[in-house]
Structure 1
Amino acid sequence: MASERVQVFEDSEADSASDVSYFSDASPPRQRRRPRRTQHLNPGYIRVDGKVPPVVHTVEYVGRRNRIFALRQSTKPFNRILESKVLANDQPHVGQGDGENAELEQRPIIEITTHVNSRRDRGHIRSYRRRDRVIRQPVTAAFGNARDYVSGSESEVDDVVSPFVVMRDAEMTIWSEHLKNALKAVVAYYPFFKLSEETLKIPSPYHILYHHRQELSTYRNNQPETHSAEYAATTSAHIDVLLDFLETNQCSGVRKEEELHKLDVPLATFKYFWLLLKPGSVVYAKRYNIWTPYIVSNIISGGDGQSIKVNGWLLESGGARVERFMESFTVPPWLGEQAISTLPVVPAAYWKDDLEAQNGLPMYEKCVAEGKMYWDLLQGPKYMQYDGHLVESGDRGRHAGGPCGFMSSRVVCDIAGLEKFMNMGPPSLDFAPPSPRRERPVRPPPKDHLPKSRPRCTCDNCADLRPAGENYSPWFGYEDLDPTRDTPPDDDLFYVLLSNTVPGFILGSRRWGHLNIAHLKPVETDKNAFNSLMIDEDIKVTVKALIGQFAANADGMIKPWGNDFIKHKGDGRIFLFHGEPGVGKTCTAECIAELTGRPLLSLTAGDLGIDSWRVEQNLNYFLDLGQRYGALVLLDEADVYLERRRARDIDRNGLVSVFLRALEYYRGCIIISTNRVRAFDKAFMSRIHVALHYKNLRNEDRERIWDNNFERLKRDSGGKVHVSVAAKDYIWESRDVRDLTWNGREIRNAMQTALALAEAESAEEGLDKITITEKHVRAVVKLSASFKDFIRDSMPDDTMSS
């Protein structure tokens, strides 16, 4: 028979109600005042054969002022809870034991305590027994919801149950110092849970204990050599008591859950999902719609049937140093069993690999590779190629805003630059250099403390012993790193936890965006593009001699423009390319960028605006970026900003002055293209270092441009696209083509249109190979001729001639 002890002290506050509070022991502790025992209650423990049993179950009845006015103790779990008035009939049990002082000298190894608040008025107390049929549940279900729980008949502690009580979750108190030291030796990381507390209390369902069952079992037979035989035996015995209690407490549910985890398709139930969320373990959750690895910090449960909040952290740059950033993920409840790999938070051990989506690598290896790239990008701005969808970071959070959708463009990955330049753009949305905005940031969960050393026993013998070798925790050196100075930990887990997204400046759209590292790759520059330019050889030689000295590093690391020339103003180089449209001015700038391996920052009037104050702000913004990235800045068709000043046009004069002042102090390389050089202001003409004139194309030049387009099309398509001999003969010999006098840009557009027609025809016929025939070229020539005839007939002669 189980022994039991009852103590009652009548209190006028006994029958008040209090709120039920559910919480997880793996979550930050909630500040809740613990009940206080009245002075009339004996603090001793029940005894069996004169000894305090290793496990004592206690029910404490709490009054209005948080005072304990009655308690019950037993060696078995309580299946039914009495109301305070019913306890009055059990007065003969009070005072069992050998006296207060004797009992204070002995305590159980563990004590399971449940606090009960009565809801009945004192004048209406009566016994009550549930009569409706209820499914049998584990004994701890009684502590979760008294109204829905009725135990089986096997319990030896059987009393009248009351539906008019409110119970808090059970709480375990570990009194054994041996057991406390054992936990300190095996728990490496469990945030917001202090094992150093003098009174160690663990709320039900005892997450920390279930998460470390295996470690405790291993430690039982592998204790430090400093332990004496007696101390080791006692520790082993106390660990056995705890493990036996855990096995009995939720044995059937936990055992069944762990069997589900071992199936070919691992399953989990919501009730026991926390078993897979051990703090310190790696899980995958979606951030910005990308599966991202996190270290579990803690979990917070709202109670039965309510969502679980999983708090985790990853490593990311805060601009200058690598820091830990916390994130929260909500796991909504589900009925029955569900495949673990389909849940919003997936433990790494149960991740289902999709090699096609993971670039042919297992998920863990993919994360390691991306983490190493992220660390490499932290060293400074890097010139990269991006092909894929931009990260949709939304309007909230640390990385809010930015463009989205598919993008194929050269980019400069610049983590530190985002913090500096994101707010430097002008306030107007019409012409502002786009930068991610930060609106209503989501408040992250509190950051936990990262342990610096591994867990160890703190008994008297072990506390004075210095650990042999390094005793750093697995996460030592993970945070507060300066990427430009500090050496990263030699640990794959460090790289796994580094962010898989990076901010970057998109050169094609001149906007800041958030990039998925999986879509980044090194830039493959076309060094032969410059040789294919259809311009005078003298111009080629001049440009190559002047620009070739500015070649960038081969590894893609940015080489900023520096003080390579005279100090202060006039440090840069300004090139002027002038000539008719389509003769190769812009193409020359693009080929120079390929030749030197430097980014090309191409600006138009749409990027700079038209008001003098806006132009100054935007131009300085882009020139600062050009200086930082060592970019070639192309001001395409800059006529509007550099026309000669007039005495009565103050706005025009201010615009030109702003432009001249900005160019005066730029230390990099600027290329200005125009087809109206005669309208330029004289002050600007004196600032040009090299002016190159592009002559109109001859028929021989056009034939070479066609040939270059044919070769490029064949090379880029991998031989999939073929141009028929008849199509080439028609292009070279037809008078219709010659009379159009296409420039280089028009030839390229015609080639793309003919390719589109050929692709459509091949798709209709189900052919894999695409052939551009004479028919396709004739169709393009006919359309172009008709359009030019219409323009010539509808526009005045003076407009056409200008």
Structure 2
Amino acid sequence: MKCCLGSLYEGEPDRRGRVSWTTNYPKDLDNPPENAESAQYALIARNKKSFDGRRKLRVESIVVQSSLIKIVLGGVLEGYPGITTSLERLEFESPFEPFVHLSDPETKEHVDLLWSVLEEELKKTIREKNDHAAHGVVTFDNIWTIFEPGALVYTREEGHDRIFKLRKGSYGSNQCGRYYTLDVQFIDFDGENFGFGTHVLQIHAFGGTGLIHRLSKVRDALVARGKGPWGLIRYSVNSRVIINTYAFNQFNPNHKVSLGYLRPEEEGDDCDSDTSSIDDDVTQSNASIPLSDDQLLLCTPKLRGYSLRDKKWLTFYLHSIKDIVWNDKAFESPVAPAEQKELILAFTQSQAMNKQCFDDFIQGKGRGIIMLLSGPPGVGKTLTAESVAEAMQVPLYNGVEESLSNILEMNTRWDAVLLLDEADAFLEARSAHDLERNKLVSIFLRLLEYYKGILFLTTNRVDNIDAAFESRIHLSLQYEELDTASRHHFTPEELNRLAEVLLNGRQIKNILRTAQLLTSKQGVELRYSHVDTVMRLRALNARKI
């Protein structure tokens, strides 16, 4: 093995245009045109034969070698995508978009030299651009002349007005014909930060001229939309929804909203930034940064959220949603003893306010509240849970899907009230014959240990509840047989009576926590009457079970 370079050269093509490699050095090679002599020129123009009938040659590209020209162009073309004027070899290719988009060429000596070359090459294009602009029209072949990087682009998307900022444009073609592609960006929210998202628009080839529309008529309306609250696409929904992009990303990773970080406007325009990455030094959310009118104009009209009735993650249009009008009289509807209704409402409201204050020996365990409402159909069990959610102005999630852990996590994140209506499949005692159901119940019991939210379970049959649920239920209520509790102070005799009740550690914890939540709602100290209320209700329903 020789430690040296061996060279092969491209041979002559055969009749079918195929080539092979050879060790023979080509004999028809000319000397490289770019050499020490050519390096003396400020500019090098590469010319090709022209076939448009008006000139012999056309400039294919220009190589800028003058450092003076590069310095001036650095200021003139700053921020123009794809142009780095400090390169040793700075080359511009036809049709020379950066110079068509410039309105005023520099007048320095070296720039005049550059302009004298470009003017001859571009005068036809610039003349046509100005003529078309004066008449408010453009041809497809010249459409690139009006799409300058950073320009605002208007389109209609699914019947809605949209404004984008142009990054760059390019021609392309496929089996359907030619098109002009616009690489654009917009502002979106990923649940934590505002940022730039990217999108692609296409203009298909057309004959003759097309009209150029101005943005002035829609600008004010779109700025106002960006300031407002944020309809549904491809799905008809008429229910309450939760707007939560962060959770949408978590539970829909294949449709995750990924954005480039948006800095405050005064720190510079991100139009030519790489929107696929986020700065490493970004540690705080920019959601509190007020967006300017120019940024609001670029805001997407879409939000991501969850339809509570349809159990679906969806994309919503801004103008199709509105704030919920809560029914502040909802808790008057359930027919139940006043003491029982007060206990339930105190229980849930205090849990919402103090859910981080109570913990088990194992961190994160035992922070939730579980209530069992039993009784025959039509007595108000489901209505109670619905009324509690309405009174607390929080979402009500009714039902269980395949992924129990996801449902529990979603409800915890939203501070929602979770209702498992007619939950007999979970509550009934396990048997040796239904192994699949036993497995489901076991998983459900384990998840409940770490659930931090409020859970209502309703059942029409309380005579066959699994023993494992009894110690996990903080409050169990039978609707038709509840008595009004009296109020007492603690005495040694009362403490002795409590100590004589056969309870395990978890049951003691749940009883005291329930009583504590009741006192928090009433704004008083813990008394025996509160514990007695919880104990009596527990004992009454235990006898029924």
Q: TM-score, normalised by structure 1?
A: 0.49
1:629 is aligned to: 414
1:579 is aligned to: 375
Distance 1:525 1:535 in 2: 22
1:179-190, aligned counterparts within 5 Å? 179-190=69-80
Unaligned 5+ segments in structure 2 are 1-10, 18-27, 482-545
1:531 aligns with 2:531: no
Match of 1:260 among 131, 135, 160: 135
Distance change in 2, residues 1:474/1:239 (3 Å)? farther
Distance 2:445 2:261 in 1: 55
Distance 2:120 2:450 in 1: 77
Deviation, structure 1 residue 482: 5.1
2:269 is aligned to: 474
Distance change in 2, residues 1:690/1:437 (3 Å)? same
1:12-411, aligned counterparts within 5 Å? 38-39=30-31, 107=42, 112-115=45-48, 142=50, 146=51, 149-151=52-54, 170-174=60-64, 177-214=67-104, 216=105, 234=109, 237=112, 241=116, 244-245=119-120, 248-261=123-136, 267-285=137-155, 290-302=160-172, 306-316=178-188, 324-341=196-213, 349-350=214-215, 352-353=217-218, 362-367=221-226, 369=227, 388-390=231-233, 404-411=234-241
- Give the secondary-structure state (helix, strand or coil) at the position aligned to 2:237: strand
Deviation, structure 1 residue 239: 7.6
Deviation, structure 1 residue 291: 4.4
Q: TM-score, normalised by structure 2?
A: 0.69
- Give the secondary-structure state (helix, strand or coil) at the position aligned to 2:329: coil
Q: Deviations over 1:654-698 (max 9, x none)?
A: 4433333332332221101122222323432343222233349xx
1:676 aligns with 2:461: yes
Task: State how many pairs are aligned.
Answer: 449
Deviation, structure 1 residue 211: 0.7
Distance change in 2, residues 1:683/1:252 (3 Å)? closer
- Give the secondary-structure state (helix, strand or coil) at the position aligned to 2:31: coil
Distance 1:113 1:624 in 2: 64
Distance 1:482 1:499 in 2: 24
Deviation, structure 1 residue 543: 2.0
Percent identity over paired residues: 24
Distance 1:681 1:105 in 2: 93
Distance 1:527 1:521 in 2: 18
Deviation, structure 1 residue 247: 6.4
Unaligned 5+ segments in structure 1 are 1-11, 19-35, 44-99, 117-141, 158-166, 221-232, 262-266, 342-348, 355-360, 375-387, 391-403, 424-435, 455-469, 553-558, 609-617, 697-802
2:351–2:454 CA contact under 8 A, matched in 1:
no
2:222–2:297 CA contact under 8 A, matched in 1:
no
Q: Deviations over 1:378-435 (max 9, x none)?
A: xxxxxxxxxx323xxxxxxxxxxxxx31213323333232333336xxxxxxxxxxxx
In the alignment, residue 339 of structure 2 is paired with which amino acid?
D
Distance 1:562 1:323 in 2: 32
1:563–1:667 CA contact under 8 A, matched in 2:
no
1:378-527, aligned counterparts within 5 Å? 388-390=231-233, 404-422=234-252, 473-475=268-270, 480=279, 481=282, 484=285, 488=289, 491-527=292-328
Distance change in 2, residues 1:277/1:641 (3 Å)? same
Deviation, structure 1 residue 491: 3.7
- Give the secondary-structure state (helix, strand or coil) at the position aligned to 1:258: helix
Larger radius of gyration: 1
Q: Please, what is the CA RMSD of the aligned residues?
A: 4.4
Deviation, structure 1 residue 548: 2.7
Distance 1:510 1:316 in 2: 24
Deviation, structure 1 residue 587: 1.9
2:45–2:59 CA contact under 8 A, matched in 1:
no
Deviation, structure 1 residue 542: 2.1
Deviation, structure 1 residue 589: 1.2
Distance 1:40 1:629 in 2: 70
1:704 is aligned to: none
- Give the secondary-structure state (helix, strand or coil) at the position aligned to 2:98: helix
